[in-house]
Amino acid sequence: MARRIIYVGRIVNLGIEDATLPDGRVVELEVIRHPGAAAVVPLHDDGTVTLVHQYRHAGGGMHYEVPAGILEPGEEPDACARRELSEEVQLQATDLRPLTTIHTTPGFTDERIHLFVARGLTPTTDHPEDDEYIEVVRIPLAEALAMTADGRITDAKTICALHLTATAMS
């Protein structure tokens, strides 16, 4: 596969790639290569979940999301989920279970996010990274699901993770 690099940044690697379509035609496509990520639903014994209300410049302001982060080189998705759980919402889990893995936008990126649910939660003393603005919010899972339906939660990984968590509980 031929690839012409356009830009390499801290998170993304944008290039033009030659792609062979199923019918044999070769076309040029813009593709963002991404290291992947992990996201986790912190589910408390009382049926509440902990979310972040986080500033997202590209998204135009504050967004409700599950804790998530980019995989470090060589890092396993479950280790990333545990790291982000501690950094973003100051929690650790005795039980971390995979929900699924999603492609965020396969039309132009290979980004995959590994989704988890965390239980057996206890506090840590960690803190968010310096380039993040995060407010920690704990609400009933049912309310979080309602927020996905009424548009207060628009983040795709969060919507998937919350609904998969609710399904796994039933």
Give residue 2's pLDDT: 87
pLDDT tens-digit map of 112-128 = 999 999 999 999 988 77
The answer to whether residues 40 and 50 belong to one domain is yes
**pTM higher than 0.75, yes or no?**
yes
What are the beta bridge partners of residue 101? 114
Q: Which domain holds residue 19?
A: 1-33
Three-state secondary structure along the chain?
CCEEEEEECCCCEEEEEEEECCCCCEEEEEEEECCCEEEEEEECCCCEEEEEEEEECCCCEEEEECCEEECCCCCCHHHHHHHHHHHHHCEEEEEEEEEEEEECCCCCECCEEEEEEEEEEEECCCCCCCCCCEEEEEEEHHHHHHHHHHCCCCCHHHHHHHHHHHHHHC
Could you tell me if 36 and 71 are in contact, meaning their C-beta atoms sit under 8 angstroms apart? yes
pLDDT bucket at 169, cuts 50 / 70 / 90: confident
pLDDT tens-digit map of 20-45 = 999 999 999 999 999 999 999 999 99
CA distance 107 to 30: 9
The answer to whether residues 98 and 140 belong to one domain is yes
The answer to whether residues 159 and 96 belong to one domain is yes
The answer to whether residues 17 and 58 belong to one domain is no
Helix axes 141-150, 156-169, angle to 10 degrees: 140
The answer to whether residues 25 and 44 belong to one domain is no
Catalytic residue at 88?
no
- pLDDT at 130 > cutoff 90: no
Q: Spell out a b/e string for 18-27, using b for 16 or more CB atoms within 10 Å of the CB, else e.
A: eeeeeeeeee
pLDDT tens-digit map of 148-160 = 999 999 999 999 9
pLDDT tens-digit map of 37-83 = 999 999 999 999 999 999 999 999 999 999 999 999 999 999 999 99
pLDDT bucket at 170, cuts 50 / 70 / 90: confident
Residue 163 CB: number of other CB atoms within 10 A?
14
The answer to whether residues 152 and 80 belong to one domain is yes
The answer to whether residues 7 and 88 belong to one domain is no
- pLDDT at 1 > cutoff 70: no
Percent of the chain surpassing pLDDT 90: 90
Choice among 129, 132, 135, 143 that is catalytic: 129
Domain count for the chain? 2
